[in-house]
Structure 1
Amino acid sequence: MKRYFMVCPRISRPLILLAVACVLSVAAHVHATAQTSLLSVSGEIVNGSPDSGSVVGLAVTLHMQGETTYDNKVTITDNDGRFIFNDIVYDPTLVYGVSVRYQDTLYGAEVSLANGAPPPVTIEVYDAVYEQDVIRVGSASLLFADADRVTQTVSALEIVKVVNDSDFTFVPGSGGPMSLLRFGLPPGAEGLQVDTRLLGADIVQVDRGFAVIGSVPPGEHDIMFTYAFPYDGAETTFTKNFPFGADSLRILSPNEVLTLASEEIGAPEPVTIGERPYQLIETSGIERGRRIEVQLSGLPRTTLADRVQSAVTNARYEYLAPALLAIFLTALIPFAVIRHRANMSG
C-alpha cells in the first residue's frame, strides 16, 4: 500500500509577519475609508430681520470646487429651515461651501470636511430693503502711492469700509446708476482693479466712476480699489465725492512722491510707517454728498529723454519715426529762435 505525503514549502517567520501586517494595514485602510468617505453636512437658515419672512422651502446648495472641476448638490429647507446633505465623499483637493439665495441676495459659508463631518452650519439671512439710507461709510483711506514721471500718472489706492447698521440687507434697486453702490474716480482714471468680499457682487462702469452691483447685508464690508490718473504739470487738484459720507477719512502719501495740502480739511502732519516718512491728513464727520478737494504738488515733470523713451516704448513701429521727428523738431525750436535773434543783431 502506497502512502502519499503532502509536502508544503517552508515559509520563514518574518515573511509571515509581513503578510499579516499587510493584511491588517489594508483592513484598517478599508475601515477608515468606510468611516470617512461618506459624510453629512447639515445646518439651518435663520432670518435675522424683525417680523421676518419665512425660510421654509429655500433651495440650499452645497458647492464642491476644485482647481479645474466643479460640482454641487441641492436640497430644500424643511418647516424649521433646516437642511442636510448626505453621502458626501470627501476629497482633499476640493473646497466646500454652502449657499442660499433669499430675496435676491446670496448668502453663504465655507465648510471644512478635513476632520470629518463638520458641526451644523447656520446661515443668517435678512429681509431686503432698497433705500440707501441704511448704508454709510465707516472709514475711507486714500493713498497716493507713486507718481510716474514718464507716464505723468499718479497711482492711488483706496480702502472703503461700507457699513450697514440695520437688520436688513440693502439690495440695489432698478432706479439706474443712482440706486447702486457708487464710487467716484478722477477724470482719465485707468487700470481700475476692485476687490470685495460681497458675495455675488459685480463691478460696472458708471459716469465718473464705478458701481458695485451687489447686496450689502448687515455688518462691515471692505472694498479696496486701485487706479492711476493723469496729471499735467507739477501741481494738480484731486477731487473726491462722498455720496454716503464718511465717519473718518485718511489721506496719505510718502514724502518723496508728492506734497499734500487741503484748505478744507487741514494741513498734513508727518507720520512714519515702516520707517518710511509719510504725510497724513485726517478728518471726520463727512456729510453725505460732500465733495473734498486736495492739492497735490511737487509732482515730477517729464523731460525730453522721458518723452523719447515713452514714444519708443508705446508707439507702434509705423508711427515711431513721425513721433520721434515731432519731438526732435520741438526740441529744435528754442535753438532756431536763438539763432534767428543772433542773425538779426548781427
Structure 2
Amino acid sequence: MRRAAVVAAIAWALALGVPGAAIAQDAAEAVITGVVAHGADPGSFDPTALLVSLDVLEGVSPLAQLSTRPASDGTFTFTVAPAPTRTYFLSVEHQGARYSASRRADTLDDPVTLTVFDATNDPGVLRFDTYTVLVTGALGDDGIVEVLERVAVSNDSDTTLVPDFDAEGPAMLGFLRFGLPSGAYNLDVRSDLVGGEVLEVDLGFALTTPVPPTRGEPHEFEFVYRLDYDGSAIDLSRTMRFGAASFRFVAPVDVARPASPRLVDLGAAEFDGRLLRLLEGEDIAPGEHIELTLSGLPTPSLRARLQRQVGDVYLRFVVPGLVASAMLGLLVVGLARRRRASAAEGASAAERRAALLAEVGALEARRRDGSVSDRSHEAERAALKQALVALELEERLDR
C-alpha cells in the first residue's frame, strides 16, 4: 500500500511537469558556514553585536531573507535549500559600511569569511594610483565628444572610508570625489564596489559608497560622459583633488589631438587600424590643476549648429564602454613604458556575474532598510536584470 502511494505521488508530480530531480533537490538542505572577522584589531572586536543577513535570489528576484547573529568567535551558519538557479548573498554591516560575499549552489560548501574594518571619515586614506582620460570619439555634425575615464584607487590603511553626511564645512569633503570638465552630461559610473549612490557636486561627482582597504588590489572606477562643443577645440582641464601617481591622456589621431603642458607626449601606436596618441605624466599632486585640451575636432556643419540651437538634436554616436576599455588596455601595454603597475585585467564572465548578483543583493538590502525608493528600486533592478541577460547571451555566443 505504501509503495502504491509513493508511485501515485510520483505519477501526479510527473503529470504536473515536475521532474523527480527537482523534487529531490527542493527537499535537500545545505548548510552555509562562515565567520565574521576583523581585518585589523580582532582583540577589541565583538562580532556578537553584528547581524549577518542572507538574501536568496532566484535569478534577480528575491526569494528569501534570513538573518543571524554570530557566536563570540564570529562563526555563523545558515540552512538553505540549494538550487542551481539561486544565488546566496551574505552581508554584514559594521560602522556604516556593508561587507558581502556570495555563493552559488556548487560553492555552498566553501566557508564564507566576511572581513570588516573600523570606519574613518578621513579621505586622506585614499590614493589615486592611475588616472586615465580616453577620448573614445566625436561626432562633428552634432558637436558631441564622448570621454571614458578609468581610475585605480588604493586604500592602504586599516580603516574603511565612510562618507560623513553630517560633517561641517565645505560640502562632501569627506567623500570620494571625481572632477569633470564643465558641461559634462549623460554620466554613467561603474566600479567594483557594491552599493552607494552618485551625487552631483560642483564640477564633478561624489560617491556614497564606502571604500574598504585594498590590500594590494586597487578599486577600479570607470565613468563615461559626453560634452557638447562648438568650433574645433574643447577644454577637459580639471583639479585633481586626490592627485595621481600616474596620469594618461589618450585620443585617436583621426578624432583630435590631445595636449597638456603637464604631460609628456609618448607618440602614437596603431590599434585595430587606428592611431592613438598617448600623453603621460607622474606624481600629480593633490589639489593640482591639470590642463587638458583637445584640438582638431570635427567641425559641426552650419545646418547642425542651427538644429542644435532650436533643440533638434538626435544622439547617434555611442561607443560601447567595453570596446573602449579593451582599446585602452592594449594601448597602455604598447606605449606606457615608464608607467607604474598597470590596472588589473578584465574580470571573467563568472566574476562579472558574481559582481552583478552582489549588486542585486545589495539593492534588496537597501530596499529592506528603506534607503531606496520603490521607483529607484524597480529601475535599478531592471537594469541589473538586463545586464545579466546580456552577459548570458555573450557567454552563449562565445561557446
TM-score by length of 2: 0.67
Choose 230-239 or 211-220, whichever is displaced more.
230-239
For 2:102, which of 90, 105, 110 is the aligned residue? 110
Distance (Å, rounded) in 2 between the aligned partners of 1:197 and 1:163: 13
Corresponding residue number in structure 1 for 2:33 = 42
Q: Is 2:277 aligned against 1:240? A: no
Shifted more, 65-74 versus 104-113: the winner is 65-74
The separation in 2 between residues aligned to 1:150 and 1:82, in whole angstroms, is 62
2:112 to 115, 121, 125: 121
The answer to which of 267-276 and 117-126 deviates more is 267-276
Tell me the CA shift for residue 295 of structure 1. 2.1
Q: How does 1:209-224 map to 2 (within 5 A)?
A: 209-219=204-214, 220-224=218-222
SS in 1 for 2:157: coil
Aligned pair partner of 2:52 in 32, 39, 60: 60
Deviations 1:97-130 (A, max 9, x none): 1100011100000112236x42211111111111
Write out per-residue CA displacement over residues 54-82 of structure 1, whole angstroms, 9 at most, x where no aligned residue: 22231111111234631211111011111
**Matching of residue 271 in structure 1 with residue 261 in structure 2:** no
- How far residue 206 of structure 1 moved from its aligned partner, in angstroms, is 1.0
Kindly report the root-mean-square deviation, in angstroms, between the aligned alpha carbons of the 2 structures.
2.6
* Residue pairs, 1:140-159, within 5 angstroms: 140-159=131-150
Provide the identity percentage.
Answer: 32
Name which of 167, 177, 184 aligns with 2:179.
Answer: 184
Structure 2 Cα separation of the partners of residues 148 and 167 of structure 1? 46
Indicate the residue corresponding to 2:297 in structure 1: 299
Alpha-carbon displacement from aligned partner over 1:160-213 (angstroms, at most 9, x marks no partner): 111101111111123231211111111111100011222222111111111100
Task: Quote how far apart the aligned CAs of 1:311 are.
Answer: 7.0
* 1:281 corresponds to 2:276: no
Distance 1:34 1:252 in 2: 53
Mean alpha-carbon deviation: is it higher for 264-273 or for 287-296?
Answer: 264-273
Between the two proteins, the alignment pairs up a number of residues equal to 291
Give the match's secondary structure for 2:303: helix
2:254 alignment partner, one of 219, 242, 256: 256
Q: Which deviations, in whole Å up to 9, do the C-alpha atoms of 1:219-269 show, x marking residues without a partner?
A: 121111000112221123221221111111111111111011112223351
TM-score with structure 1 length normalisation? 0.77
Q: Which is richer in strand?
A: 1
Which ranges of 4 or more aligned residues in structure 1 deviate by more than 3 Å?
28-32, 307-313
SS of corresponding position for 2:264 = coil
- Structure of larger gyration radius: 1
- Superposition deviation, residue 313 in structure 1: 8.0
C-alpha distance 75-251 of structure 1, shift in aligned 2 (>3 A): same
Which is helix-richer, 1 or 2? 2
SS at match of 2:236: strand
What letter is aligned with 1:161? A
Superposition deviation, residue 35 in structure 1: 9.4
